Amino acid sequence: MGFKKKNLFTVLTLIAMPVMLGSCVSDTAAGTPAVLDSEEEASDLITIGFSQLGAESDWRSANTQSMLESFTEEYGYNMIYENGQQKQSLQMTALRSFIQQDVDYIALAPVTESGWDGVLEEAKEAGIPVILVDRRVDSDKSLYSCWLGSDFELESRKLCEWLDSYTQAKGLAPSDLNIIHIQGNTGSTAQIGRTRGLANAAREKGWKILGQMSADFTQTKGREVTASFLRRYDNINVVYCENDNEAIGAIEAIEAAGLCAGPDINNGDILVLSFDGTAEGALELAREGKIAAIAECNPLHGPKVRALIEELRAGKEVSKFNYVDERIFSSLPEVSSVTVDGISYPIENIDN
């Protein structure tokens, strides 16, 4: 059902108010109230409020685009989009605005896992289903309908298996690796999973992690953090970045220091590892061998989120946790596949 039925007077009054909507049912000039052709037209559209956490990376832009193009009027939706600018407070404001507007559904890509109980309880009391996108929350599962995204720890385990296989192919001992770890948004599901994967692999395989620091998934901070580590350590030979933009920044810092991000650790190259595989620049750097391997993180959630909402609208049960499929990219010849939990994942060669 579209807009929850309100009497015609209320609908027209609301529309006449100077409301600050991310996108109205119909575009209007500033200050000119949106006037619907008919209540019927408004009531036909399903309104979804989408609180996106920010615009910090190429991955995020692709994720936003996928959501916006999946919830258009041609699919029967009106999407109200709000950019949280990586601030939980702005996302909270957006969710409360969606609740006040009595949207039909809320999609939330939470910047961090904690602190959502209150606003999710308000949405539940208002009878508005919440679908989590990308990252998770540590709230009780009853406070949201379902989640869609990646298995971030599995992404990390695949990449660490790649590094282990590469090390062996190069005749190196695990103790020969001197790793620095550039983390994403502290407390985000992606950072938690990608950090846990590396920490477990380092412990199991005997790798040294010289240092770790957050760069908030951004290129600028990736460059700054890597530069600070390069000033502190003269033996770094692996840089583990938690997304493409950090990796691009790390390579800028490596080259500014007169060093080489490349494919051959035995030749003095620094091996840069990354996640996402979204930024065109990152895939080009991987083709050149400047990024040694990328664990794909699929941003194209829109169609799957819409399918989940369609299931919910049809009154069907949906899985609480829904995962997207992901690969490993590399142009280096040393490793052709990795195995995690008995499952073999072929390396997608992006050399061509």
Which residues have C-beta within 8 Å of that of residue 191, sequence separation ≥ 6? 183, 184, 185, 214, 242
Residues 262/266/272/275 CA torsion (nearest 10 deg): 110
Query: Interaction with ligand GZL in 67-86: which residues (CB under 6 A)?
Result: none
Question: Does residue 135 interact with ligand GZL by CB under 6 A?
Answer: yes
| Residue 12, H or E segment | helix 8-16
Cβ burial 204-220 (10 Å sphere, 16+ → b, else e): eeebebeebebbbbbbe
Q: Which residue in the set 77, 275, 329, 345 belongs to the binding site for ligand GZL (CB under 6 A)? A: 275
Cα four-point dihedral sign 316, 317, 321, 325: negative
Query: Interaction with ligand GZL in 201-220: which residues (CB under 6 A)?
Result: 217
Q: Which residue in the set 59, 81, 98, 166 belongs to the binding site for ligand GZL (CB under 6 A)? A: 59
Question: Does residue 241 interact with ligand GZL by CB under 6 A?
Answer: no
> Which range touches ligand GZL (CB under 6 A), out of 16-24, 56-64, 158-166, 338-346?
56-64
Question: Does residue 60 interact with ligand GZL by CB under 6 A?
Answer: yes
Question: Does residue 306 interact with ligand GZL by CB under 6 A?
Answer: no
Question: Does residue 56 interact with ligand GZL by CB under 6 A?
Answer: yes
Q: Which residue in the set 297, 332, 338, 347 belongs to the binding site for ligand GZL (CB under 6 A)? A: 297
Question: Does residue 150 interact with ligand GZL by CB under 6 A?
Answer: yes
User: Please, which residue, 194 or 290, has the CB nearer to ligand GZL?
Assistant: 194
The distance of closest approach from Cβ of residue 59 to ligand GZL in the complex, given in angstroms and rounded to an integer, is: 3
What mask of x and - would describe binding to ligand GZL in positions 5 to 44, judged by CB under 6 A?
----------------------------------------
What's at 151, amino acid-wise?
D
Which residues have C-beta within 8 Å of that of residue 250, sequence separation ≥ 6? 182, 222, 223, 225, 226, 239, 241, 261, 272
Q: Which residue in the set 82, 153, 161, 276 belongs to the binding site for ligand GZL (CB under 6 A)? A: 276
The distance of closest approach from Cβ of residue 312 to ligand GZL in the complex, given in angstroms and rounded to an integer, is: 22
Cβ burial 22-33 (10 Å sphere, 16+ → b, else e): beebeeeeeeee
Spatial distance between the Cα atoms of 259 and 133, rounded to a whole number of angstroms = 39
- Lateral strand order in the sheet of 337-340: 208-214, 178-183, 238-241, 271-276, 293-296, 328-330, 343-349, 337-340
Chain positions contacting ligand GZL, by CB under 6 A? 56-57, 59-60, 134-135, 149-150, 190, 217, 243, 275-276, 297
